[in-house]
Structure 1
Amino acid sequence: MATTLDLARRFIANAWNPGVTVTDAPADITVDWDVPIKVRDGTTLRVNVFRPSSGKLVPVVMSAHPYAKDKIPLKTKTGRGLSPQYRLLSQPRPFHISQYTGWEAPDPAFWVPRGYAVVNADLRGGGTSEGVADLFSDEEAQDYFELIEWAGTQSWSSGKVGLDGVSYLAISQYKVAALRPPHLAAICPWEGFSDLYRDFARPGGIREDGFSILWSMGTSRGARVARPLLRSQMIDRPLRDEWYQSITPDLERIQVPLLVCGSFSDHLLHSRGSFEVFRRAGSAQKRLYTHRDGKWCAYYSEEACQERLRFFDHHLKGVENGWAEELPVRLAIMDIGAKPAAVTRESAWPPQDLTWRKLWLDAQSSTMRDEPSLDHGSVNFRSQFGSVAFNWTVPIDLDIIGPMSLSLSVQVDGATDINLFVDVAKVRNGVKTTFEGSYGFGGDMVSKGWQRAAHRELDLILSTPEQPVHRHERDELLSPGEIVPVMIALRPHATRFRKGDELRVEVQGRWPYARNPFTGPFPAGYESSPKGICHLHTGAQYESHLLVGVRPYV
């Protein structure tokens, strides 16, 4: 259980000396710097190519982004310089990259000696490529299509191209994969949101007011980005309108083999979208790798690199390495911190042997029960401060796994809407257990969710009982005295509970975490609720419960 002092010490120690080692690149790599590629409208894009000096035909592992492909340790003054983000966003354990490694990109020092070429591309407007970037757009996807086809037809290429990378380098894979380039053989999006509105910009309809500001500003300074910038779009577009829909990839059109990383530690950015890719992609061959570790130390770890190597070896080289016979889901089950209590192989996500259980909220006792109370109860809190909590004492050793949904019956006095923030915690011996979270935060809870009451309308096609998906296409403001049902989607997780542990659900009208880099998931923040008093009704005719997937463990 990380204390406030523990979190502050971790941040300071990492800022002083990040646990990232930069190693020399192998000598037997041929590098083609800044190779020009002219696309359909005459714009020149540029890539760096790292390939075996042997001259053998090899498959390609490729990434593309607006972050400047030449920002690598080799090209700093010392030859080992690191991005400042490694100092600001701490990782729970050390890792290493080579001098050739681009930001959140595959490390050529790992891939080239194993018989691959690595291509790191500047997308339009980024780095040394020409043009102006239209981020997340169809134009960007078409550019990537042409880069893939170029890589698949070079004299050193076997004709098979795979995509790999973290965050934007994962996000950029979805739209181009849906276009089905002929030389694209497999993709590995390692933590990347797939629906800008629902996953990051306005989860539950509530505007993100932290990282989105810094990312929008930083990207526009580092690349030539079309106006209006992302942050302006977020402010001007409170609904999931045509623009948001136009930049959302058609996941069902993705047909190539897929290895997706679904992180339980990035609830504020990539978690939901990654699991949605696994759920909805049209690929016949889909794999899911889960963890609750630091983003970068997981991606560059030996285990994750070997997982991706086996995936690409099978699909890009035709190696019969047992990949096709394995169960498709690698599930990391967490008890505390970043190290799994167990790692299992599952046939599906969520696992098929879960029992879905409703825990009924009881306002009179502040508990959750197996059966709904026959008596009506209510509890309230002020939207600007205050909160309410409901506790369930776990009766036997259990793993609680999957997405969860919280159903509330909501009334608001003094306002026509409220932003609901939900935190789900594990309490052991009176102390909240902490886990790895977004932005290098080591004090995260089990799960969380956001929901504007006025955005309660569900997408009936995409929603399931355990995973409600909201439309966000209109406001349904509350009338005085009106009690409305609100379902809140809670982010996926896999958490181990011992008999006697408590599962605690906390509901409030404001972001519950500190907004500083020492003791909170900085820079995350969310817009505040309008002033008012929120009443939650339970019992009698009110559907107020938490839906969880559970199974006992030995």
Structure 2
Amino acid sequence: MVRRSQQDNMLIEWDVGIPMDDGLVVRADVFRPAAEGKWPVLLTYGPYAKGLAFQKGYPSAWANMISGHPDVASGSSNKYQNWEVVDPEKWVPHGYVCVRVDSRGTGRSPGTIDHFSPRETRDFYQCIEWAGVQPWSSGNVGLNGVSYYGINQWHVASLQPPHLKAMCIWEGAADWYRDMTHHGGILSTFWANWYDMQVKTVQYGLGERGPRSAVTGALVCGDETLSDQELARNRASFGDEILAHPLDDDYHKSRSPDWSKVTVPFLSAANWGGQGLHPRGNFEGFVRAASQQKWLECHGLEHWTHFYTDYGRELQRRFFDFHLKGEANGWDEQPKVQLQVRHVDKFVERHETGWPLPSTRWTEFYLDPRNQTLSLQPPAEEAEISFAAGGDGLTFMSEPLADETEITGPLATRLRISSSTEDADIFLVFRVFTADLREVTFLGAIDPHTPVAQGWLRASHRKLDGKLSKPYRPYHSHDEVQPLQPGKPVDLAVELWPTSIVVPKGYRIALSVRGKDYVWQTSTGAKLSNFKNELLGCGPFLHDDPRDRLQRLFAGTTTLHFDRRGSCSLLLPIIPPR
């Protein structure tokens, strides 16, 4: 039953039913202006339960955010704050309707959970079209949200819903295989753990076993209370399904966007510190989507923070006011790229005309085996260095930089390797060190000690897509396994995700070639309430599932092979000083 209330200068409808084409009804909360009229709509569709308060569901993230950024909580009662979606108290007064939909099988929407599936994308499409024809709607629907609520924007945009007029993808990955489930072909354990911590806890049917809304008192996870067996039948076996699809097959492709069909105007907002999940999709979307009206922004700090700060919210509003309301606010003159360029102690805003940056000086540094250095000249002689395939590997470090140096853009590495087994996993970490050799890390999207950039590749997945690969962004097909012959060298091209850092004079840059995930230090004590593991440098984006990394394939010895032509090198996007 739909409940209505007028409070906090909004008309609110709770649990509005939106029928799907298979007869299932998903539930939405609608926040709209109290005055009569037709308004543009900001809609989100996702699994985190519309009735679960940010403060209750994600207490550590909320506390950290408002303590460091008081503007987030200012000007709102914060009663309607939800994880990764807009605060209606900061949008409805400006003439927007905010619609929050619980995705199929979660919160107060019944059904079977199957994340990012074609079924879920069709549901999202139908929610957009429903919102576009309501009596309070102007017919212009925009999408806005973080992470899950950004990822599925790419997907639904591929279906081109007629009422979708603009979208803001705030830290939203895109490619289900390359960005999310298999980094360089190596399984990420993130999604299975995320499922346990953030979805099963708000599945429809928890009923009385679940939380209640702090605003309405309603059961967040539906009025039915189902057994554990019934709940299990109503959700996909998510981690096992991902494991069962080690190549980029139809399972992954059906959960990824078709860039040729993403034509709606959009703002893609990335996070430099999001290594392991989102930024690759934000940059790929900006470059590859067919839309003629697209903008890129990139920032730092935690992955939820700037979505809620005045900086992020005002940027979003300018974008939506122009595209959904038709306001002449100058957005059409907004530079295509807005960067918060990262320094070791601050961020500096700068505008650019394209990505990668047109002024980039692509500069190759060679891995030199003599003293494990990075050099602008290839090695003087051939050599080999071996390391334990499951170990900390080797680090190649430059001399102190003679000048302040900006590195902003995608990175790539060429390696020649061999293995004592039929495969090898390569973990690359681009690092910065002070003059006295202390590593510089950053408050990342999740982890408080995130390195500057990371890349991954399973050697048997080294096959490149000839059409999509570029020297600065190798693109792997991931459509077949090409085993190694033990002891025989092969050449690898490895993508490192885009980054930005202005390295001070006298500091050093370094590349680590590892056989396992980066670890900043063995214990940090850093944890968040919504993740299982201690945060040691990679956040929750780990690659340690023994079912994916069999001992017989990945516990041998890996050897780097060097020659005078520079078979092992690092390509950096150096930005000349202004």
What TM-score results when the alignment is normalised by the length of structure 1?
0.89
1:538 aligned onto 2:546? no
Distance 1:296 1:248 in 2: 23
8 Å CA contact 2:114, 2:236 repeated in 1: no
1:130-164 CA-to-partner distances (Å, cap 9, x unmatched) read 32232112221111111111111111111111000
1:357 aligned onto 2:363? yes
8 Å CA contact 1:261, 1:288 repeated in 2: yes
8 Å CA contact 1:268, 1:438 repeated in 2: no
Partner residue of 1:474 out of 472, 480, 486: 480
AA aligned to 2:510 is R
- Equivalent position of 2:97 in the other structure: 117
8 Å CA contact 1:164, 1:190 repeated in 2: yes
Provide the secondary structure at the position in 2 that maps to 1:316.
helix
AA aligned to 1:536 is L
**C-alpha displacement of 1:88:** 9.8
**C-alpha displacement of 1:534:** 1.1
1:155-193 CA-to-partner distances (Å, cap 9, x unmatched) read 111111100001111111112111111111101111111
AA aligned to 2:238 is L
**C-alpha displacement of 1:127:** 1.5
Distance 2:112 2:264 in 1: 29
8 Å CA contact 1:91, 1:294 repeated in 2: no
- Equivalent position of 1:315 in the other structure: 323
1:438-495 CA-to-partner distances (Å, cap 9, x unmatched) read 42x2211110111111111112222111011111111111112211001111011111
Partner residue of 1:214 out of 193, 217, 222: 193
Deviates more, 1:189-198 or 1:131-140: 131-140
- Equivalent position of 2:574 in the other structure: 550
- Equivalent position of 1:86 in the other structure: 61
1:390-411 CA-to-partner distances (Å, cap 9, x unmatched) read 1223232221110100100001
1:32 aligned onto 2:13? yes
Distance 1:389 1:104 in 2: 37
- Equivalent position of 1:385 in the other structure: 391
Partner residue of 2:121 out of 115, 123, 141: 141
- Equivalent position of 1:345 in the other structure: 351
- Equivalent position of 1:3 in the other structure: none
AA aligned to 1:216 is Y
Distance 1:50 1:275 in 2: 32
- Equivalent position of 1:243 in the other structure: 251
**C-alpha displacement of 1:374:** 4.2
Distance 1:520 1:461 in 2: 34
**C-alpha displacement of 1:537:** 1.4
Partner residue of 2:150 out of 139, 164, 170: 170
Distance 2:172 2:237 in 1: 20
- Equivalent position of 1:66 in the other structure: 47
Partner residue of 2:35 out of 47, 54, 69: 54
Provide the secondary structure at the position in 2 that maps to 1:170.
helix
- Equivalent position of 1:289 in the other structure: 297
Provide the secondary structure at the position in 2 that maps to 1:179.
coil
- Equivalent position of 1:157 in the other structure: 137
- Equivalent position of 1:436 in the other structure: 443
8 Å CA contact 2:359, 2:576 repeated in 1: no
1:25-83 CA-to-partner distances (Å, cap 9, x unmatched) read 9721110111111121211111100011012221011111022111136xxxxxx6452
Provide the secondary structure at the position in 1 that maps to 2:377.
coil
AA aligned to 1:436 is L
**C-alpha displacement of 1:326:** 2.0
After superposition, where does 1:361-510 map in structure 2 within 5 Å?
Answer: 361-393=367-399, 394-413=401-420, 415-429=421-435, 430-439=437-446, 441-510=447-516
8 Å CA contact 1:49, 1:117 repeated in 2: yes
C-alpha change, 1:198 and 1:480, in structure 2 (3 Å) is same
8 Å CA contact 2:111, 2:234 repeated in 1: no
8 Å CA contact 2:378, 2:566 repeated in 1: no
C-alpha change, 1:148 and 1:228, in structure 2 (3 Å) is closer
Distance 1:148 1:128 in 2: 18
C-alpha change, 1:452 and 1:90, in structure 2 (3 Å) is farther
C-alpha change, 1:109 and 1:176, in structure 2 (3 Å) is same
AA aligned to 1:510 is K
C-alpha change, 1:28 and 1:116, in structure 2 (3 Å) is same
1:100-121 CA-to-partner distances (Å, cap 9, x unmatched) read 1222101101100111110001
8 Å CA contact 2:430, 2:511 repeated in 1: yes
Distance 2:139 2:62 in 1: 39
1:205-256 CA-to-partner distances (Å, cap 9, x unmatched) read 11112x3222122324423686542200122222222211221111221111
1:43 aligned onto 2:27? no
1:269 aligned onto 2:277? yes
C-alpha change, 1:85 and 1:245, in structure 2 (3 Å) is farther
C-alpha change, 1:131 and 1:179, in structure 2 (3 Å) is same
1:333-377 CA-to-partner distances (Å, cap 9, x unmatched) read 11225x31x210000111101111111111123112222234212
Distance 1:82 1:417 in 2: 41
Distance 2:105 2:235 in 1: 12
8 Å CA contact 1:438, 1:521 repeated in 2: no
Q: Percent identity?
A: 34
Distance 2:540 2:63 in 1: 10
Distance 2:259 2:93 in 1: 33
Distance 1:352 1:126 in 2: 44
Distance 1:131 1:381 in 2: 50
8 Å CA contact 1:264, 1:291 repeated in 2: yes
1:526 aligned onto 2:538? no
Partner residue of 2:238 out of 227, 230, 236: 230
Provide the secondary structure at the position in 1 that maps to 2:180.
helix
Q: Give aligned pairs, total.
A: 519
Distance 1:222 1:313 in 2: 33
8 Å CA contact 1:198, 1:205 repeated in 2: yes
8 Å CA contact 1:92, 1:294 repeated in 2: no
Moved over 6 A (4+): 87-92
* Stretches of structure 2 lacking an aligned partner (at least 5 in a row): 1-5, 205-232, 524-532
8 Å CA contact 1:361, 1:539 repeated in 2: no
8 Å CA contact 1:291, 1:331 repeated in 2: yes
1:487-524 CA-to-partner distances (Å, cap 9, x unmatched) read 11101111101222211001111112258525444433
8 Å CA contact 1:334, 1:494 repeated in 2: yes
* Stretches of structure 1 lacking an aligned partner (at least 5 in a row): 1-24, 74-79
AA aligned to 1:93 is G
8 Å CA contact 1:310, 1:321 repeated in 2: yes
AA aligned to 1:193 is A
1:334 aligned onto 2:342? yes
What TM-score results when the alignment is normalised by the length of structure 2?
0.86
Distance 2:478 2:575 in 1: 33
8 Å CA contact 1:134, 1:226 repeated in 2: no
AA aligned to 1:177 is A
Deviates more, 1:499-508 or 1:301-310: 499-508
Deviates more, 1:63-72 or 1:108-117: 63-72
Provide the secondary structure at the position in 2 that maps to 1:290.
strand
**C-alpha displacement of 1:91:** 8.8
Provide the secondary structure at the position in 2 that maps to 1:275.
helix
Provide the secondary structure at the position in 1 that maps to 2:240.
helix
